[in-house]
Amino acid sequence: MRLDLTREQKIADRYLRSYMMVPDRIGSHLSALERGVIMRDSTAATAKVLGRGRGGGDKISAALAVIDEAEEGILREAKRFGSEFAEVEDFISRVQRRDRLSGKALRMAYIDGMSADGIADSGKLGCSRKTVYELIRRGLDISFDLLSET
């Protein structure tokens, strides 16, 4: 079953999906950090074996620069998306106050990143996949109404 959305539901869906980019962006910086650590450790081990005089210091400096840049990127993204996350979290809480199950379904789908199958299989809502889709649609309708109020 595919989730067919109305125009209004698509608007709410786009708004809620803004948070879903956070893990990808931070994951990209974590990968860079991991590469820098591997570069540093490899260069340090080589420099230790060969002695410091063969350019190992330059490679270690380059690795440390990669690590520093990745760390700065992680902090920058965390700061940037921290407020966005709080906004989306608060928004879904407002939906949940209007309709508890729909809000819970939105939270599981948009914050926890679960599929409709995953939500249904988790048993947390006690309903089928078809009902999960209905709850998400209803939650998106409420979301659109809330977005229209602001």
Rounded to whole angstroms, the Cα distance separating 135 from 6 reads: 14
pLDDT value, residue 142? 97
Provide CB contacts within 8 A for 116, sequence distance 6+. 1, 3, 109, 129, 132, 133, 136
Per residue in 66-104, pLDDT tens? 777 877 777 777 677 767 777 888 999 999 999 999 999
Neighbours of 4 (CB within 10 A): 9
Q: What pLDDT is recorded for position 105? A: 97
Q: pTM of the entire structure?
A: 0.64
